[in-house]
Amino acid sequence: MTTMTDTPTRPTPPNVSIVIPIYNEQENLPDLVAKVGEALLPTGRSFELICVDDGSRDRSAWVLRDLAAKTPWLKPRYLMRNYGQTAALQAGFDAATGKYVATLDGDLQNDPADIPALLDRLDNDASVDMISGWRKDRQDKAVSRKLPSMIANRLISKVTGVTLHDYGCALKVYRGEIIRRIRLYGELHRFIPILAAEAGARITEVPVRHHARTRGVSKYGIDRTFRVILDLLLMRFMMRYLHRPLHAFGGVGLWLLVPGLAALAWLLGVKLFGHDIGGRPLLLAGVMLSLMGVNLIGLGVLGEVLIRVYHEPEGRDQYRLREAPEGDV
Ligand code: UDP
Ligand code: MG
């Protein structure tokens, strides 16, 4: 699959970079790496597996290091501490150079064997930039996991207008340029399809397999549902206003400024025709509204500047890497 010649400084990008966030998955890692190999090696695609250890408290980092020593396509990254799944994914994306990028969970609930078919679809269907897995037959607890997810999926579809059955499925494939166009922060990994859609991606959904977790424990409980809903409301607010604070503040500011200036103009007219305007309430209101209006518009402008600084990826300490661990597993 590789056509360019290798140079030591800039290796040829692989056809696909597979990114997996890892937090306390020591029992799953050997099987995970083996299954990714079994799925991808027969396809003849060049690939790299970027497992990002998200500050695991178990021996995941050591297990990864030892697996990498005997697996040329495994490229582990180690985060300084537990930053959460979103930052771990972003750390993986920052290292991913592939033409395509695939993501999945590290607990083998997603099946690496599904990846090749999704990649083939990207190869053959130029009308699609991103494919989101759909766990039609999801193997999780009904009341604590599937029901809240169903509600969240409906809500997200309604609020954002990006309609998918299963936002939460970690198994997804993208054209690399989509991933390089978006930046995850906070808890945004759940909303990647929405960010991707904003970045211009055409998204489709394909049913994938799903297995129950057999080793290790889920890192999330029911409280996540509430956080998802909060994030969702925040997301709605952000989509409307965060990227244009001038609209939020400036809009209110204008609504105050206009009647304020009108009141002042009226009073000026009255005064010009020789009447005493004294300390009328209207004067006070006119001055106050105008000043508040100017203030808020100013805040809007400041917000515009701030939002650009905030999203500037450089200098934002989203995660820190550490060296491979030393010592025995
Ligand atoms: N994960 C992570 N950092 C965290 C929590 C989870 O990197 O702080 C990883 C975890 O190892 C797994 C994926 O994110 O690969 C999804 O986590 P989990 O399987 O616990 O979530 P669930 O499937 O229960 O939603
Ligand atoms: Mg899981």
**pLDDT value of position 241:** 66
Per-residue confidence band for 8, with pLDDT thresholds at 50, 70 and 90: low
Q: How far is the CA of 212 from the centre of ligand 2 (A)?
A: 8
Cα 189 to the center of its chain, rounded Å: 3
ipTM, interface predicted TM-score of the complex = 0.98
Q: Whose CA is closest to atom 18 on ligand 1?
A: 218
Q: Residues 17-30: pLDDT tens digits?
A: 999 999 999 999 99
Cβ(23) to ligand 1 under 6 A?
Answer: yes
**Cα 179 from Cα 189, distance rounded (Å):** 12
20 and 164 fall within a common domain: yes
Residues 235, 161: contact at Cβ < 8 Å? no
Provide the residues around ligand 2 (an ion) whose CB is within 5 A: 105, 107, 109
Residues 291, 256: contact at Cβ < 8 Å? no
**pLDDT value of position 315:** 47
Cβ(55) to ligand 1 under 6 A?
Answer: no
Cβ(166) to ligand 1 under 6 A?
Answer: no
95 and 137 fall within a common domain: yes
Q: Which residue of 107, 145, 172 sits with most ligand 1 atoms within 8 Å of its CB, as the best mutation to test the pocket? A: 107
**pLDDT value of position 263:** 87
Cβ(82) to ligand 1 under 6 A?
Answer: yes
Q: Whose CA is closest to atom 2 on ligand 1?
A: 85
Average pLDDT of the segment spanning 62-73 = 98
Nearest atom in ligand 1 to 224's CA: 25
207 and 272 fall within a common domain: no
Boundaries of domain holding 277 = 245-311
233 and 251 fall within a common domain: no
Count other Cβ atoms within 10 Å, centred on residue 212: 11
**Cα 60 from Cα 54, distance rounded (Å):** 9
In a domain, 6, yes or no: no
Of the residues 241, 271, 301, which one is the last residue of a structural domain? Answer: 241
* Highest mean pLDDT: which range of 36-50, 208-222, 238-252: 36-50
Report which bound ligand comes closest to the CA of 53.
Answer: 1
208 and 112 fall within a common domain: yes
Residues 246, 300: contact at Cβ < 8 Å? yes
Angle subtended at Cα 139 by Cα 133 and Cα 143, rounded to the nearest 5 degrees: 110
Cβ(26) to ligand 1 under 6 A?
Answer: no
Average pLDDT of the segment spanning 283-294 = 86
- The owner of tokens 């597993």 is 329
Residues 112, 36: contact at Cβ < 8 Å? yes
Cβ(310) to ligand 1 under 6 A?
Answer: no
Report which bound ligand comes closest to the CA of 25.
Answer: 1
In a domain, 123, yes or no: yes
Q: Residues 131-145: pLDDT tens digits?
A: 999 999 999 888 888
174 and 253 fall within a common domain: no
Nearest atom in ligand 1 to 83's CA: 8
Q: Which residue of 188, 190, 219, 318 sits with most ligand 1 atoms within 8 Å of its CB, as the best mutation to test the pocket? A: 219
Per-residue confidence band for 248, with pLDDT thresholds at 50, 70 and 90: confident
Nearest atom in ligand 1 to 104's CA: 15
Burial of 315 (0-12, 13-18, 19+ CB in 10 A): exposed
Sign of the CA dihedral 90, 84, 190, 207? Answer: positive
In a domain, 5, yes or no: no
**Cα 64 from Cα 29, distance rounded (Å):** 7
Cα 9 to the center of its chain, rounded Å: 30
Number of domains in the chain: 2
253 and 223 fall within a common domain: no
Residue 74 DSSP code:
B
In a domain, 86, yes or no: yes
Give me 13's structure tokens. Answer: 């990008």
**pLDDT value of position 94:** 95
- The owner of tokens 């930046």 is 183
312 pLDDT more than 80: no
Mean confidence (pLDDT) of the chain: 88
Cβ(60) to ligand 1 under 6 A?
Answer: no
To the nearest 10 degrees (0 to 180), the angle between helices 115-124 and 29-40 is: 40
Cβ(220) to ligand 1 under 6 A?
Answer: yes
**pLDDT value of position 188:** 75
Give me 4's structure tokens. Answer: 């360019």
106 and 132 fall within a common domain: yes
Q: Name 207's bridge partners.
A: 134
Q: How far is the CA of 85 from the centre of ligand 1 (A)?
A: 6
Nearest atom in ligand 1 to 54's CA: 7
**pLDDT value of position 210:** 96
Give me 16's structure tokens. Answer: 């696909």
Q: How far is the CA of 130 from the centre of ligand 1 (A)?
A: 21
Burial of 263 (0-12, 13-18, 19+ CB in 10 A): buried
In a domain, 324, yes or no: no
Is the pTM value of this prediction over 0.90? Answer: no
Q: How far is the CA of 170 from the centre of ligand 1 (A)?
A: 9
Of the residues 241, 269, 292, which one is the last residue of a structural domain? Answer: 241
280 and 159 fall within a common domain: no
* Backbone phi and psi for residue 72, each to the nearest 5 degrees, phi listed first: -60, -30
**Cα 30 from Cα 20, distance rounded (Å):** 13
In a domain, 120, yes or no: yes
**Cα 221 from Cα 99, distance rounded (Å):** 35
276 and 294 fall within a common domain: yes
Cα 141 to the center of its chain, rounded Å: 25
**pLDDT value of position 115:** 98
Cβ(106) to ligand 1 under 6 A?
Answer: yes
Count other Cβ atoms within 10 Å, centred on residue 233: 11
**Cα 22 from Cα 88, distance rounded (Å):** 8
In a domain, 328, yes or no: no
**pLDDT value of position 173:** 98
In a domain, 3, yes or no: no
DSSP H stretches of helix in the chain:
29-40, 60-69, 85-95, 115-124, 147-160, 176-181, 192-198, 223-237, 245-272, 281-311
169 pLDDT more than 50: yes
